Structure 1
């Protein structure tokens, strides 16, 4: 283990500490953070160099709070000791001296990613992909052991100097299944800029929360800082929980995987296996396309390549859920203000014990509708045959369209209708934004197979097809597939981003999509998400 961040003399020791446990001779300090000081040491029994982490205790803590810290150290030790992976720091020992826990780890001769970004600036996308693949692999190994890291950030990713090996460290706030966590005592720990929306809002967090942090880490790697950095904690909370997600332009070829990781809907967020495969493939080949995946935390599955693509027939590109949930619908029953207040309370409650942890280190048509809430990953999905639709407010600037062909949907005001059987279109003025619907006999292979075939044939059907991927998801409780891609667009119109959803309902197969100029893809995604949630066959 190398730097833990920070500089200066530790207030908890005078100069260098004496031998720890009569065995580990301290030879220098590697770094200091809000949770401890990391020392370089020599294991005199085995004659090897190690890193020793000394846990900090505030002298004003009660006996109970000090016990909490001791428990935390033991939990960190147990967490790391369970994991055997080349990209996870190796834990050698844990001891207690003078009432304070000390954790002995392998010594990584190198720098943290935070140090690299501060000294040399952002890294290239392929290097970011290499780092991200290593972190995703380490997390998969941890999650298989029931361990959540919960503090993925550049300071906790180490890069070995001679080999370039990437190592994930500091499981100090990890949660092992079945153990009591600090957040359960009213203390929020972590780095807000890298923390998932569900953790911010106080919801139950699982492996998918670590994957959100990987998405933020990738953005920070290529841009130098998190896309959620703001001037205040409240600003960070608002950005993570509610603001439009704006990945940096420097993400470039990493956009598909970053988008799939930064899904506010945990059920649509990419899993560790799929993320590692995508990132490793790009890091090794430089190819950001042709690696179709099914980003789902519940089932990490990769769609294998297959010949015989079925070209898309519609000149208007379909859509899939955009990586960055711009205006992604928040949980029903929770107001934006309520979510933020809950998150702020979590932070404030923890300030008394771990304040330092919180420091920012194509034609169209018209028609009225009932909204369909997207199933929450924390509640059982209704059956496809008995879906209950709950009306939701129509967003400002939108209207309910009831189409004569037998469906209703909420779309932006001012769209015009056009028909090209079996497709129905709604266009914004100038056809800048295009919404399409197709209704046909179901494919017996299901929505995922349909969208996978479209993805495989994308290069033949759409000029300049790129950044395409398919996501297995649900619509009103039934199976569905989302397809998202970029292409060169119509002559003279510039590149476009398309989002397409396919599912089967009441014996019919539906396909709805939205396409927009690439530079306005966030607005296109917002339109798509609204249409996805409110589309109702009649």
Structure 2
């Protein structure tokens, strides 16, 4: 697979993989050089699943390439730029811009929680990215601090890993019923196997903001079962540090997708907070955040969820609800 030599590997006759930047459950990210254009890039190598049949492996590879090409059409300052999608040795590789900075997860681990103003700034950037992606019919489905990069040079916030974890089977119920990925950031409707849309990304953003403000997801528990119960049924206890942004956080963490705070309104509220230091109640959502709200069980649904990165915006989307 690729061209080997002198400790480096060249894929597609063009991209020289050099230093491994990180590894997750679904892939390895490399610092690399585009030898044709002479620029530094990041390359994500998708890990092969040896438990799949040859036909299943081909189907997953084809879906990965198709969906990554769709993501490559997105253009937004807070969305990672996908330069190329290639296949080498029947394995997909995603070639992206190289961000010289760590992730939001790295920052929290190294320096602890961030302040409300910085959380609002990051939230505004991510909401802009999600609005652009959703308008193009692309769902992220893996919003979490590790997938938010912070450019050390200009404080740019960059949402990365669009859909790659989803097409590889992460953050969703698998055919065997086990759970992989980041359940602490997964919306309750996805947990129950219901049809999902842009609202699921917004729930994940609400959990991310709680983590950024307090250092820990409000749904963290000692076991997977505990996390699933916390997301779907238990009382949602937002951290005290989220108080300045409570209308936004609680609105995004509304269990009913139809009542969940929309992206445009959430962005407006965060901008008001940054300008005035006060977050007003939402005006375009059916949800009015209070601490006394009681959770409602998610509706029963099939155990398996359809794996789909692309969706067709419906009338509610066109009306500007998300």
Distance 1:329 1:251 in 2: 22
- What TM-score do you get using the length of structure 1 for normalisation? 0.52
Please tell me whether the aligned partners of residues 126 and 286 of structure 1 are also in contact (alpha carbons under 8 angstroms).
Answer: no
Q: Which residue is equivalent to 1:90?
A: 81
Q: Which residue is equivalent to 2:297?
A: 330
Question: For the structure 1 residues 15 and 229, does the alpha-carbon distance in structure 2 shift closer, same or farther, using more than 3 Å as the test?
Answer: farther
Distance 1:292 1:157 in 2: 26
2:122 equivalent among 131, 134, 143: 131
Shift of 1:291: 7.0
Q: Tell me whether 1:79 sits opposite 2:47 in the alignment.
A: no
Shift of 1:29: 1.1
Question: For the structure 1 residues 93 and 234, does the alpha-carbon distance in structure 2 shift closer, same or farther, using more than 3 Å as the test?
Answer: same
Question: For the structure 1 residues 249 and 75, does the alpha-carbon distance in structure 2 shift closer, same or farther, using more than 3 Å as the test?
Answer: farther
User: 1:60-101, CA deviations, whole angstroms, 9 ceiling, x for partnerless residues?
Assistant: 432123224313421441232131111100000011111111
Question: For the structure 1 residues 120 and 184, does the alpha-carbon distance in structure 2 shift closer, same or farther, using more than 3 Å as the test?
Answer: closer
Q: Which residue is equivalent to 1:19?
A: 10
Q: Tell me whether 1:231 sits opposite 2:222 in the alignment.
A: yes
Structure richer in strand, relative to its length = 1
Please tell me whether the aligned partners of residues 78 and 159 of structure 2 are also in contact (alpha carbons under 8 angstroms).
Answer: yes
Q: How does 1:290-439 map to 2 (within 5 A)?
A: 290=280, 292-295=282-285, 321-322=288-289, 326-330=293-297, 334=300
Q: Which residue is equivalent to 2:90?
A: 99
1:161 equivalent among 145, 152, 169: 152
Please tell me whether the aligned partners of residues 263 and 269 of structure 1 are also in contact (alpha carbons under 8 angstroms).
Answer: yes
Partner SS state of residue 149, structure 2:
strand
Partner SS state of residue 111, structure 1:
coil
User: 1:437-476, CA deviations, whole angstroms, 9 ceiling, x for partnerless residues?
Assistant: xxxxxxxxxxxxxxxxxxxxxxxxxxxxxxxxxxx9xxxx
Please tell me whether the aligned partners of residues 16 and 26 of structure 1 are also in contact (alpha carbons under 8 angstroms).
Answer: no
Please tell me whether the aligned partners of residues 243 and 326 of structure 1 are also in contact (alpha carbons under 8 angstroms).
Answer: no
User: 1:12-66, CA deviations, whole angstroms, 9 ceiling, x for partnerless residues?
Assistant: x999541111111122111111111000111111111100111101334321232
Distance 2:196 2:128 in 1: 19
Question: For the structure 1 residues 293 and 186, does the alpha-carbon distance in structure 2 shift closer, same or farther, using more than 3 Å as the test?
Answer: farther
Shift of 1:135: 0.9
Q: Which residue is equivalent to 2:239?
A: 248
Please tell me whether the aligned partners of residues 53 and 102 of structure 1 are also in contact (alpha carbons under 8 angstroms).
Answer: yes
Shift of 1:185: 5.9
Q: Tell me whether 1:121 sits opposite 2:112 in the alignment.
A: yes
User: 1:320-350, CA deviations, whole angstroms, 9 ceiling, x for partnerless residues?
Assistant: 7335684333356x4xxxx7xx6xx559xx9
1:195 equivalent among 186, 190, 198: 186
Distance 1:227 1:183 in 2: 21
Distance 1:152 1:289 in 2: 23
1:54 equivalent among 45, 49, 58: 45
| Length, aligned pairs only | 299
Question: For the structure 1 residues 190 and 243, does the alpha-carbon distance in structure 2 shift closer, same or farther, using more than 3 Å as the test?
Answer: same
Distance 1:191 1:68 in 2: 24
Q: Which residue is equivalent to 2:268?
A: 277
Distance 1:324 1:196 in 2: 20
Please tell me whether the aligned partners of residues 72 and 173 of structure 1 are also in contact (alpha carbons under 8 angstroms).
Answer: no
Q: How does 1:425-464 map to 2 (within 5 A)?
A: none
Please tell me whether the aligned partners of residues 15 and 33 of structure 2 are also in contact (alpha carbons under 8 angstroms).
Answer: yes
Question: For the structure 1 residues 238 and 54, does the alpha-carbon distance in structure 2 shift closer, same or farther, using more than 3 Å as the test?
Answer: same
Please tell me whether the aligned partners of residues 89 and 168 of structure 1 are also in contact (alpha carbons under 8 angstroms).
Answer: yes
Structure 1 residues not aligned, in runs of 5+? 1-12, 176-180, 297-319, 351-471, 473-538
Distance 1:71 1:95 in 2: 11
1:67 equivalent among 52, 58, 74: 58
Please tell me whether the aligned partners of residues 32 and 38 of structure 1 are also in contact (alpha carbons under 8 angstroms).
Answer: yes
Question: For the structure 1 residues 292 and 271, does the alpha-carbon distance in structure 2 shift closer, same or farther, using more than 3 Å as the test?
Answer: closer
Structure 2 residues not aligned, in runs of 5+? 308-320
Partner SS state of residue 132, structure 2:
helix
Q: Tell me whether 1:264 sits opposite 2:255 in the alignment.
A: yes
Q: Tell me whether 1:219 sits opposite 2:221 in the alignment.
A: no
Please tell me whether the aligned partners of residues 150 and 190 of structure 1 are also in contact (alpha carbons under 8 angstroms).
Answer: no
Larger Rg, first or second structure (1 or 2): 1
RMSD between aligned alpha carbons?
2.8
Q: Which residue is equivalent to 1:442?
A: none
Distance 1:173 1:34 in 2: 8
Partner SS state of residue 105, structure 1:
strand
Distance 1:51 1:278 in 2: 34
